[in-house]
Structure formats: C-alpha cells, structure tokens
Amino acid sequence: MNINMYLVSIMSPVIFFLSTTIDREDIQKCRYFLDCVLTFDVAANDCFGEFLIVTVNVHIKDINDNAPQFPESAITINISETSSVGHLVQLPSAVDLDTGINNGVQSYEIFPANGTFGLVTTKKVDGSFDVKLRLQERLDREKIDKYIFQIFAKDGGTERNTGKLQVDINVLDDNDNPPVFSESIYNLTVSEDTQPGTTILTVTAFDKDIGMNGEVEYHISQQAFSDIFSINSKTGDISLLKKLEYNQKKVYSFVIEARDKGTMPNYSQVKVNIQVEAVRNDSNNPPVIKLHMISGSNGVVPISELINLNAVVAYISVEDSDTGNNGNVACTISSSYFGIQALSSKGFKVIVLKLLDRESVSQHTITVICRDFGTPPLQSSKTFHVIVLDENDNTPTFDQPVYLVTMRENNPIGEALTQVSALDKDTGLNSWIQYVLQNDAGSQFGIDNSTGIIYATKVLDRETRSDYEFRVLAVDSGYPPRTGSAFVIINVTDVNDNRPIFSKSLFTFEVSEGRNPYTPIGRVKAYDPDVGLNAFVQYYMLAQDINVPFQVLRNGTVITSTSLDRELRSQYNFMVYARDSGNPSLNSSANVTVYVMDANDNAPTILFPNKMNNTVSSTVTSLPITKIVAVDIDDGINGQLTYFLMNEDDKNMFNINSQTGELYFKSNFHFTTEQFRLMICVRDSGLPVKHVCTQLNVNVLGDDTFFE
C-alpha cells in the first residue's frame, strides 16, 4: 500500500492515530495471513541532526465481526435409493472472513438430526474444513422421496456467529420393485359363441417405481395359444382371435407376464384360466343366483376398511330346476380380497379374505359365478360392488418436517410469517385438518386454524430473544382424532432500534500538564444491544468543540490535541458522542471532565527582596530582622517552599526559618555597625526540585551589648 512519508523528530515521542476505520477483511493481504501487518516509513531527524528512515509495523488484530457464509444459501442433491450406508456426498464448506481459532469456522451441525444423514468433517492443514454428508440409513424412495434439513457452520467467537445452508435431498428411483398384479390368479368363463375381437379380460399390474421403472408392458409368456388369444401390451386387454369350441378344449391356461421398462427390467407373472362354456342346451337350465347383501342396496355394499377378516358381506342363494348333476351347483368368486364359502344349510356366503385399505383400493367389483355339473355345464353370474368406507387410520403429514422463517424485529402485530400445510390421505371429516400451535410457541405467535398461516401476536424484540423453536400440529376431525407435527424455527433479525449506551454518564480523566500533543488520556466506551453494523459504534465530538484541546478517536480513545498548562486552566468539560453504523444511524452522548494535573514546571518567584528593594537595616535587638516573601504558582508539593541561605557570612551571624522565610540574628554575638551581603534562596518540593536565589543587603546597627 502507498503510505506517505512523514518527517518527525525522534527527540520526542510520536503518536499515530487512525484517520479512518480499518476493516481487516477489506485488506487483501490480510485475507491469507493470520498475522496482518501494515507497514510504512517515517523520516526522522535524531538529536544529532542525522536523517533516518524508521519503519513502522502496525499489527491489525481480528475481531469476530463476520459470520460464516456458504457459497449458496441452498443446494439440491440427488441420491439413488440404492446408495449404500456410508455413502458420502461432498458439501460446500463455509468461509469466515475472520481468522484464528476463536473467530474462524470451528464446527458444523446438521438440523434436525434425523438419523438418516450425518456429517463427516475433517480439518485440513490450512485450518479449513472438508465437509461431507454421510448416508446413515438405507433409503426407500417409495416411503420417503425427499429430505430437507439445515447445515449450520459456527465460529468460535465469544458471541458465536452462525452460517446456514439448506440441503434438499431428492431420492432418485431405482428399479427395485417388480410389477404386482391386482389378482393372484385370473379365472374366467367364456361362452363358446363369443365372437373374435371381443375383449374377454383385462389384467392390471402396478409398479411402485416411477418413470420408465414404473411403466408396465404385458406379454403372453411363451406365446401360448398365440393363435387364439392376444394381449394389448399397454392396457392388458386380452382379446379373442377366433371362436372357441367347447368340444376341443374346456379350459385354456396360460401365463401373462408384466415387465417394467427399467434398464434391468423387473417382471412378475400371473396365471390365467379361461374356461369355455358350451352353448346352452334346452334340456339343461343354468343356475339362478340371488344376491342378499348384508347392507346397502342396488348392488352396492358399503363396508369399513377396518372390517375383520372372515366377516360376511353378502349371502348367495342358488336355485337350479334341473336334477342330478345338472342341478348340482358350485360357485366361485372373481376377487383375491373376498372369498365364497358354502353354507352347511343352504347357499353360500361372501367373506373378507384380505385386510382392506381404502387409500389403496376404494372399490371392489365382485362377480359370483355359479356353474352346474351338467354336460355341457351351464353357469350364471351375479356382479355387485363393495364400497370401502374410510376410517381415520392415517395421520396428517406436513409437506416439510421443518419450516425456517426469518423476520425483522419490531414487526406489526398480526404480521403473517409463514404458512404450513399438511395432507391427510383419509376422506371427509377424517381428512379435515385444523392447525394448532404447541404450548412451546408461547404467547408470541398464533395460527389460523384453517389456512395454517402463522402470525405474530406480539411485537418481537431481537435484543430480548433472537430465535424461537416450537412445534405446529395438524389435527384431523376423525374420531378419535389423529395428530401430525412439524417444527417451526423463527430467526429474528436485527433492526437499528437501539442507541449506543455509554458505560458511564460522566467520564473523568487526568492528564499531566506539559505532555506532548496526541497523548492518550483515557477511553470512553459505549455498548449497542443491536448486532452487525447496527452495533458497530464510532465516537466523535461536535465541530463547535474545536476549541477544546482534546480529540476523540473513532475507537473512543481521548487524546490531547496540544500541550496543556494547568496554571492557565486546570479543568475541561466537554461532550463526546457515540454513533452506530445502522441506516439511519443512532447516537447518544456522555460528559467528559479532564483534570489537568500539576507538573513542577515553575520555579519559585522571590517577591522580596528584589532588584528594586534588596536592603534592610536592623539593630541587634530586632527580631526578626525581615521576612523573605516568595510564591510558586505550581500546586501541591510543587508549590511548597523551603527557605535557606546559600552562603553564610564569615561570622556565621544569621539564621533563616525554612518554613516562614523569617531572618534572625544568632545569639551571643558582639555586633558592630556593619553591612552584610546574604544570598537568599527558595526551593520548591517538586521533582525535580526548582529553586531561585537573590541577594539581600543587611545593614546592622551595632553597640557594645551582647545578646542573650
């Protein structure tokens, strides 16, 4: 960086101060080194007049003023459902512009920790982290096809900052499910006079996979009876190619194969039995079927999806007016979910063979076929429908397990924050959902029971609480009701709504007079409860205080702007201001009092004697002879005076009171009229000591008397 060279004298200390705010992260060279040093040169003259170049190194210390940041706020990852446990996926790492073990990124966390995914973090040589996502449980797309969670990067500062990355996992389908036929076996009776081209049966298979993996084609295995039957590969419709003849073959059995279109196709097979029914002979009558339903009407039986196995859904009575084998009847049913059993008394009952699930199959079409044992055998059929009634057997499921919400503090009451949504596979009241907040939401939030809109019921204050976590419930209207839940995490962001607060209303400092300009004398301190730039405080003084011999630096350090003289002024009062960096910024003020402490920078001044008046006359009886008058404008011990004689007269006749300055004759001397020249001195008690001397002429008027 280009730094001007300053010419100074090294005979006195030099104070450097900042002319602008330093942001360590804006200095390019500081981004790559822990020890950030700014260097510039100063030209100086030493006390011998030599010209010197002095290099100054300024070490910039980092503060934790940056949060970790990911390259993106959200990423989407596709993972195959056949990925093995332990499968690793590289994640972007967070970057913290701060440095050092305290302020840089120190840890990563996954939330919510659902067990399916975990983190593997490795600290690298340069101090950064390698972050990988680890699969901890087997995936099954057919059960859960999407995961949403957060990765938090935390630094190690005293007030820890956090960066956030949302991860959306799409579970990719693998061809791990074969097609499944709706029936385990297909039995059908076809009259021998059925015309070619007639669709006599439709087989259906369902594949849980998606895309090509779930798209099914149908084929007749090994092309059995390919000259008699054909199948539509897309619809599963089986059609006659030519008329059937009862005398040639009574039953045609072949296998239908359903195959998906995956790269490595899966398939399943089902057996189809087609019995040829002879054209009716007038001497033989077909059975007459009568259907008696347990409930319902018009050929429709409603039953609960929770009905027990072997429960009766219909009673079948059969009448055949023929005799012998022509009148003996056996009945079958065309459904794998239901069966038919002969009653010991008379007729047949239709019962439930497999557990029902309305959400999988909501309606079953049942055909009862009754055939006599005549030659040829004759048959009749009766079809009815079973409607599966819904039971409240499904729990509402939210469209995402965690809702992350960011909102500003000082919000208006009633402000909508987010909308949650849940789905219930049931129908009617069993699927009618109402939304409720769990008690851990407190009184700060509410929810519209019908729409799922979560709103604020109070004005939030980030300085009181910056984040909330609670559960939201989806309750259906079945009996008994079923409840699903999800988490809501609300982060309250800062608004510049707090002024800086000084730690004191009055700061008092002391500084010795005579110190060099730009001497630091103390520091004012203010705290702003906001965060970020809203809490970044700088200090200043008003322009009208320019005559005050002090400056306040942006970091709050108070320095002198000139050398002070206590004897001119011993106390200064002024105001300092703290301003945050929000937009708009807020400020506050505090009073500062500076006491100028005395230095021993003044020597005593002797008022008497002086050049105009330095002679006294005294008789030997005068006590005291005179009094020395001196003052020192310094304070305290610096102004405390002591009087003494620099040179005694050769007769050693005089004595001076060191405290009062009174001059006396010593006793027991014989005086004659004579003049003495005394050097009177006064010194202060400061450090270093300062003193001053002056001459006093003493005219003594003597006689022949001795002093006692």
Are residues 50 and 79 located together in one domain of the fold? no
Give pLDDT, residue 6. Answer: 44
- Whether 581 and 618 map to the same domain: the answer is no
Residue where one domain finishes, among candidates 493, 514, 533? 493
Query: What pLDDT, on a 0 to 100 scale, did the predictor assign at position 7?
Result: 46
Residue 480 maps to a domain: yes
Gyration radius from the chain CA atoms: 53
In tens, the pLDDT along 104-163 reads: 888 899 887 778 899 999 988 877 899 999 999 999 988 888 888 889 988 876 667 888
Mean pLDDT to the nearest integer, 230-250: 83
According to the model, what pLDDT value does residue 106 have? 85
Neighbours of 246 (CB within 10 A): 16
pLDDT at 210 over 60: yes
Tell me how far CA of residue 141 lies from CA of 28, 132, 167, in angstroms. 48, 22, 17
The confidence score (pLDDT) of residue 250 equals: 74
Query: Residues 120-123: contacts with CB within 8 Å, 24+ apart?
Result: 120/88
pLDDT in tens, 579-617: 999 999 999 999 999 999 999 989 999 999 998 999 998
Residues 384 and 462 in one domain: no
Inside any domain, residue 329: yes
pLDDT computed for residue 2 by the predictor? 40
pLDDT of residue 217: 94
Domain boundary among 154, 172, 190: 172
Give the residue among 275, 282, 234 at the shortest CA–CA distance from 258. 234
**What pLDDT, on the 0 to 100 scale, is given for residue 5?**
44
Rounded to whole angstroms, the Cα distance separating 590 from 573 reads: 11
Q: In this predicted structure, what is the pLDDT of residue 32?
A: 57
Q: Per-residue pLDDT for 482 more than 70? A: yes
Residues 6+ apart with CB under 8 A from 159: 64
What are 245-252's contacts with CB under 8 Å, separation 24+? 245/192, 245/276, 246/192, 246/276, 246/277, 246/278, 246/279, 246/376, 249/276, 250/275, 250/276, 251/275, 251/276, 252/225, 252/228, 252/276
Mean predicted confidence (pLDDT) in 329-358: 90
**Predicted pLDDT at 161:** 82
pLDDT single digits (tens) 665-680 = 876 566 677 888 999 9
Please check whether residues 453 and 423 belong to one and the same domain. Answer: yes
Note whether residue 546 is domain-resident: yes
Confirm whether 69 is domain-assigned. Answer: no
| Domain membership of residue 462 as a residue range | 397-493
pLDDT at position 659: 94
The pLDDT of 276-289, averaged and rounded, is 72
Angstrom distance (rounded) from CA 195 to CA 60: 96
Kindly compute the dihedral angle of the four CA atoms of residues 599, 600, 605, 606, in this order, to the nearest 10 degrees: 140
> Any idea which residue has 């090294």 for tokens?
10
Sequence-distant (≥ 6) Cβ neighbours of residue 150 within 8 angstroms: 110, 111, 164, 165, 166, 167, 402, 404
Q: How confident is the model at residue 641 (pLDDT cuts 50, 70, 90)?
A: very high
CA dist list (Å): 385 to 54, 65, 83, 295, 334 = 102, 71, 44, 12, 12
304 and 337: one domain? yes
Quick check: 696 pLDDT over 50? yes
**381 and 292 within one domain:** yes
The most distant pair of C-alpha atoms in the chain lies apart, rounded to whole Å, by 194
Q: Look at the chain and report how many structural domains it folds into.
A: 7
CATH number of residue 689's parent domain: 2.60.40.60
Give pLDDT, residue 26. 63
Collapse the DSSP code of 377 into the 3-class scheme (helix H, G, I; strand E, B; otherwise coil) and give the result: coil
In this predicted model, what pLDDT tens digit does every residue of 496-516 receive, in sequence order? 999 999 999 999 999 999 999
Assign 3-class secondary structure to 124-182. CCCCCEEEEEEECCCCCCCCCCEEEEEEEEEECCCCCCEEEEEEEEEEECCCCCCCEEC
Question: What pLDDT, on the 0 to 100 scale, is given for residue 36?
Answer: 75
Q: What confidence tier does 706 reach under pLDDT thresholds 50, 70, 90?
A: very low
For 474, residues 6+ apart whose C-beta sits below 8 A from its C-beta are: 396, 397, 398, 420, 422, 424, 433, 434, 435, 452, 483, 484, 485, 486
pLDDT for 703 = 59
Q: What is the mean pLDDT of residues 534-544?
A: 90
Q: What percent of the chain has pLDDT over 70?
A: 89
Asked if pLDDT for residue 424 goes beyond 90, the answer is yes
Mark whether 296 and 384 lie in a shared domain.
yes
Please indicate, yes or no, whether residues 541 and 474 belong to a single structural domain of this protein: no
pLDDT confidence of residue 344: 82
The pLDDT value recorded for residue 705 is 42
Position 350 in a domain: yes
What 3-state DSSP class applies to 492? strand
Report pLDDT for 4.
43
Please check the confidence at residue 289 and state whether its pLDDT lies above 50: yes
Residue type, 509: F
Q: Do 167 and 83 fall into the same domain?
A: yes
pLDDT in tens, 556-568: 999 999 999 999 9
User: Do the domain assignments include residue 65?
Assistant: no
- Would the pLDDT of 323 be above 50? yes
In this prediction, residue 707 carries a pLDDT of 41
Instruction: Tell me which of 551, 572, 597 is where a domain ends.
Output: 597
The C-alpha angle 95, 99, 103, rounded to 5 degrees, equals 90
pLDDT of residue 319: 85
Question: Is the pLDDT assigned to residue 485 strictly greater than 90?
Answer: yes
Q: Are residues 402 and 488 in the same domain?
A: yes
Report pLDDT for 397: 95
Q: What percent of the chain has pLDDT over 90?
A: 52
Whether residue 448 is found in the same domain as residue 478: yes
Contacts of 2 (CB under 8 A, 6+ apart): none
706: in domain? no
Domain annotation covers residue 523: yes
Taking 70 as the threshold, does the pLDDT of residue 8 lie above it? no
Q: Assess whether pLDDT exceeds 80 at residue 545.
A: no
Fill in the DSSP letter of residue 12: S
- Predicted TM-score of the model (pTM): 0.53
Same domain assignment for residues 242 and 213 = yes
**Residue 527 confidence class, pLDDT cut points 50, 70, 90:** very high
| Residue 303 clears pLDDT 90, i.e. is over it | yes
- Smallest CA-to-CA distance from 152 within 471, 407, 404, 401 is with 404
| Residue 289: strand pairing partners | 318
> Is the preceding peptide bond at 112 cis, omega within 30 degrees of 0?
yes
Question: How confident is the model at residue 708, as a pLDDT?
Answer: 40
The pLDDT, as a whole number, for residue 246 is 67
Closest Cα to residue 179, out of 100, 123, 262?
Answer: 262
Residue 402 has pLDDT above 80, yes or no: yes
